[in-house]
Amino acid sequence: MPPYDLKRELKEFYAPKNTAWALVDVPEQRFIAVDGTGNPNTATAYIEAVEALYAVAYTLKFTAKSEGQDFVVGPLEGLWWADDPTAFTVGAKDSWHWTMLIGQPEWITPAAVEEAVRTASAKKKLPAIPDVRWLTLHEGRSAQALHVGPYDDEAPLLAELHDRFLAANGLDFGGLHHEVYLGDPRRTEPAKLKTVLRQPVRSLA
């Protein structure tokens, strides 16, 4: 039996084909998470958060594999917000708040995450490992689209969501902006990077 893979099991949310906004219904999911603020391109806190997430994610994976429940470590994801929503369309990255995430299979428990944090802390002296926490998220009805290209080129697609799609469908923001990073920016040309953009919504009616 192949290892559990979020991208395969939840294909609608991890491998969408549509590059225009469409509505989806996202089920409850489980994550490990680290919170922070600042420009993801330059903030030390962001780099440390991502390092810590992967350290704990692989600790969880290897423990689960030893118990006969192997899984593929999921892609990096992020929840993003700002005190002024226009910070995203104008690229004011220093004011961005974020919660970086890696999705977990349903059999991973909060207790397993706590144990993985302790184990990873003992093996790797990474400052953000103690900040890794358990998070459940049920986004429900959401607008979702696939962006292909550099991260900095997301603004027009986000502007389309903010300025047209929501109003045309009688919707408003219903949660935090969510991104799923399907490519490794260290190994993939910027023009070929794939990012799932997701915005939980609520009806204005």
The residue among 110 and 83 whose pLDDT is bigger is 110
Domain boundaries, the chain: 21-140+173-180
What is the DSSP secondary structure assignment for residue 200, as one 8-state letter? E
* 21 class by beta-carbon count within 10 Å (0-12 exposed, 13-18 middle, 19+ buried): buried
Yes or no: say if 142 and 200 are a contact pair by the CB < 8 Å rule. yes
- Residue 4 sits at φ, ψ, to 5 deg, of -60, 135
Rg of the Cα atoms in the chain: 17
Q: How confident is the model at residue 115 (pLDDT cuts 50, 70, 90)?
A: very high
Say yes or no: domain 21-140+173-180 is CATH 3.20.80.10. Answer: yes
Reported as a single tens digit per residue, the pLDDT across 162-174 is 999 999 999 999 9
Task: Give Cα 144 to chain centroid, integer Å.
Answer: 13
pLDDT at 11: 96
- What is the number of other CB atoms lying within 10 angstroms of the CB of residue 12? 12
Question: What number of CA atoms fall less than 13 Å from residue 126's CA on the CB side?
Answer: 26
- Say whether 133 sits in a helix, a strand or coil: strand
**Cβ within 8 Å of residue 122, ≥6 positions away:** none
Is 0.85 surpassed by the pTM of this model?
A: yes
Residues 42-48: what's their mean pLDDT?
A: 95
106 sits in the region (left: phi over 0; alpha: psi -120 to 50; else beta) called alpha
Q: Which residues on neighbouring strands pair with residue 77, listed in sequence order? A: 101, 180
CA 52 to CA 125: how far, in whole Å? 10
